[in-house]
């Protein structure tokens, strides 16, 4: 059965399409409506997403602006903030190479969103650059909680192979995927890798080969000098115990990058404030020197 469009929405308004549903811009607004496909499992995942957004809205702080704003739900679907610049993955592949400052900001904003989710007993379950979105000011927002885990409920979604923590037996035929804070951190490492390189890890390899390499801890080579390379490696090796620790590490890198810029800004402000005084002192000294020489 085809997915029916909500009243007032036509095909030209559609900006996204996934396994759970369709996303369309609500005309004359800065909002979108996400409405599920007709299949029962899609509707069930959409109901989970409503619960997640309502939980986050109940505890949202002013400082938590890195999750798509929830504007309620209706019979047709969920109403959300419209992120005009679309999914981060698409942006990385089509736009100019982002600056180091912008990449670090995105990394920090992504980590902040996951810290907030975990603090509210929500595990995303499908962390990747397709589920991070960019608003009109290039700020990153986390979205797509269809099938996420809330209060330890079983997740009905799972990470892509390139973001999946390997199981004890990578050759197991079991379809069950357990979502934990550890699997979230591992997946976040792969998302960071894509942010920094523009491509998911081992994108050119088959799923079975990726599983084998991850099981052997044979991760893509990252130079320690590469921005956030050490953070990515520590995520993959589960050397962080929480997303809070990941966020703190990203902030350290951000502060290091800001260091020279901040020193320059301080110097410029000092010159702007005291430059005329310094000039008067120099002129006075020159006059004194001229007087002594005469």
> DSSP per residue over 176-195, as a string?
-----HHHHHHHHHHHHHHH
pLDDT of residue 262: 57
pLDDT of residue 268: 64
Express each pLDDT in 169-215 by its tens digit.
544 444 556 899 999 999 999 999 999 999 999 999 999 999 999 99
275 has a pLDDT exceeding 90: no
- Residue 118 · residue 185 · CB < 8 Å: no
278 has a pLDDT exceeding 90: no
Backbone phi, then psi, for 136, in 5-degree steps?
-65, -20
- Mean pLDDT value across residues 25-29: 95
- Statement: the pTM of the whole predicted model exceeds 0.95: no
pLDDT of residue 102: 97
Express each pLDDT in 251-270 by its tens digit.
999 999 887 655 555 566 66
Express each pLDDT in 77-94 by its tens digit.
999 999 999 999 999 999
Residue 6: strand pairing partners: none
Residues 6+ apart with CB under 8 A from 275: none
Indicate the DSSP class of residue 66.
Answer: S
With a pLDDT cut of 70, the percent of the chain lying above it is 87
Identify the weakest region by mean pLDDT among 110-114, 128-132, 218-222, 243-247. 218-222
Residues 6+ apart with CB under 8 A from 112: 64, 66, 247
pLDDT of residue 85: 96
- Residue 246 · residue 185 · CB < 8 Å: yes
- Residue 179 · residue 149 · CB < 8 Å: yes
With a pLDDT cut of 90, the percent of the chain lying above it is 67
- Mean pLDDT value across residues 28-50: 93
- Mean pLDDT value across residues 22-31: 95
Continuous segment of H or E residues that includes residue 290: helix 243-293
Task: Give me the chain's average pLDDT, please.
Answer: 88
Indicate the DSSP class of residue 139.
Answer: -
Residue 141: strand pairing partners: 133
Q: Would you call 195 exposed, middle or buried from its count of C-beta atoms within 10 A (0-12, 13-18, 19+)?
A: buried
291 has a pLDDT exceeding 90: no
pLDDT of residue 250: 98
Half-sphere exposure of 59 (CA within 13 A, CB side): 14
Residues 6+ apart with CB under 8 A from 164: 158, 177, 183, 186, 187, 211, 214
Residues 6+ apart with CB under 8 A from 53: 70, 78, 80, 145
Distances (CA, A) of 160 to 45, 78, 124, 154, 271: 17, 24, 13, 17, 53
- Residue 113 · residue 67 · CB < 8 Å: yes
pLDDT of residue 172: 43
Identify the weakest region by mean pLDDT among 21-35, 139-153, 191-205, 220-234. 220-234
Going by pLDDT thresholds of 50, 70 and 90, the confidence category of residue 231 is very high
pLDDT of residue 170: 47
- Residue 188 · residue 238 · CB < 8 Å: no
Which of the two residues, 230 and 177, has the higher pLDDT score? 230
Residue 134: strand pairing partners: 140
Residues in the chain: 294
């Amino acid at each position: 059965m085809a997915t029916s469009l909500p009243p007032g929405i036509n095909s030209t308004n559609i900006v996204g399409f996934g396994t759970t549903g369709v996303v369309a811009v609500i005309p004359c607004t800065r909002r979108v409506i996400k409405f599920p496909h007709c299949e029962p499992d899609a509707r069930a995942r959409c109901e989970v997403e409503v619960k997640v957004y309502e939980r986050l809205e109940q505890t949202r702080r002013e400082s938590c602006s890195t999750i798509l704003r929830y504007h309620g739900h209706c019979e047709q679907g969920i109403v959300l903030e419209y992120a005009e610049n679309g999914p981060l993955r698409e942006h990385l592949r089509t736009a100019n190479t982002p600056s180091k400052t912008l990449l670090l900001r995105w990394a920090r904003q992504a980590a902040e969103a996951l810290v907030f989710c975990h603090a509210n007993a929500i595990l995303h379950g499908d962390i990747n650059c397709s589920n991070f979105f960019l608003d009109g000011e290039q700020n990153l927002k986390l979205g797509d909680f269809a099938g996420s885990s809330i209060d330890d409920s079983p997740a009905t979604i799972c990470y892509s192979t390139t973001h999946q923590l390997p199981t004890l037996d990578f050759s197991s035929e079991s379809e069950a995927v357990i979502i934990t804070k550890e699997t979230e951190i591992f997946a976040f490492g792969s998302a960071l890798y894509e942010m920094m390189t523009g491509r998911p890890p081992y994108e050119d390899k088959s799923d079975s080969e990726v599983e084998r390499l991850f099981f052997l801890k044979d991760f893509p080579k990252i130079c320690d000098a590469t921005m956030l390379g050490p953070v990515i490696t520590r995520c993959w090796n589960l050397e962080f115990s929480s997303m809070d620790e990941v966020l703190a590490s990203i902030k350290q890198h951000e502060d290091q990058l800001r260091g020279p810029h901040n020193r320059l800004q301080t110097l410029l402000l000092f010159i702007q404030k005291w430059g005329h005084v310094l000039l008067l002192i120099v002129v006075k000294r020159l006059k004194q020197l001229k007087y002594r020489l005469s």
